[in-house]
A and B are shown apart, each in its own frame.
Chain A
């Protein structure tokens, strides 16, 4: 049967179900509200300077999506950079209002000079700077993300509950910890793999 004109079957691992904000961030040791409160406190101590560091697909943007709504004491300016969009708008360098916090997701996408310019701008105007990156950007550590096999299993179970008949047998033979290791700790890649598995009909 042609795929054109056919009502599509919903893939539970589609972007809208797995993108940052769609899946809650899981702190390994304490409940999310406590973890977020601790991060807000820590950010206040560092006057808004901080970095969230972790490998590809380890939950940096997911943590940021959970954190941004609770940063009510700050005037947040959120910028998301990626490999296809590495530009900073000139307005970023306008004098900020008091309590401003510049949040840049994917800070390492900027070149060395741009990063230096952003830091200098924030320092000069007393503005906070919170970034996510794969490696240290020389800011105080706010959090280091890493996906545990348990967290990965919980996320997968939430997206494809085995109790549902729709997913009966879907995960048979799929070793989540092993796949997480194979993808160097990237839950995003594991979920991409599950997207393909769903499309292939297991």
Chain B
């Protein structure tokens, strides 16, 4: 049985902080390309809360490439991206609740019934000053 290694995903952002309504710029690369049995590659820009209580999530941008519709074959790798960010919510480092912003790439692969996934996140700050 051939053992397929876990896809190695890297995300680089142009900077660590972005202004509200600004443009998030960066690039992601899947080393060696998506696995031959890839079921999807998804790229999202999202915020999530963390803390002691129930956690929340919001998606500002989502894009998927799949083999079924031919988009995966034409997906650039490395893939440069620019995403217009919303005004809010701003990043927040509270005690009881925190707001994280992140760019996320998720690769699903493997045969049906044994599908696996690898997720790679790159955190950044959405901050009124636009800088760290």
Contacts and interface: CB of A to CB of B under 8 A. Distances in A.
Interface in B74-132: 90-95, 98-101, 123-129, 132
Interface string A1-37: 0011111111100111000000000000000000000
Given A14-B51, A15-B55, A5 B95 contact: no
Interface string B26-67: 000000000000000000000000111111000000000000
A186 to B, nearest CB: 14
A143 interface: no
Most chain-B Cβ atoms within 10 A of its Cβ — which of A7, A10, A16? A7
A170 interface: no
B93 A7 contact: yes
A192 interface: yes
Interface residues of B, number: 26
Nearest to A1: B93
Contacts of A11: 50-51, 98
B93 A8 contact: yes
21 contacts: A3-B92, A4-B127, A5-B90, A5-B125, A5-B127, A6-B91, A6-B92, A6-B125, A7-B16, A7-B91, A7-B125, A7-B132, A8-B93, A8-B100, A9-B93, A9-B98, A10-B50, A11-B50, A11-B51, A14-B98, A15-B50
Given A15-B55, A199-B95, A6 B50 contact: no
Contact of B50 (A4, A5, A8): A8
Contacts of B132: 7
B51 A5 contact: no
Interface string A156-200: 000000000000000000000000000000000000100100010
B123 A7 contact: yes
Contact of B52 (A3, A5, A8, A14): A14
Most chain-B Cβ atoms within 10 A of its Cβ — which of A3, A5, A192, A195? A5
Contacts of B123: 7
Contact of B92 (A4, A15, A195): A4
A10 B55 CA distance: 13
A5 B91 contact: yes
Nearest to B51: A14
A110 B51 CA distance: 28
A6 B131 CA distance: 9
B64 to A, nearest CB: 23
B24 interface: no
Contacts of A15: 50-55
Most chain-A Cβ atoms within 10 A of its Cβ — which of B17, B50, B52? B52
Contacts of B55: 14-16
A187 to B, nearest CB: 14
Nearest to B131: A5
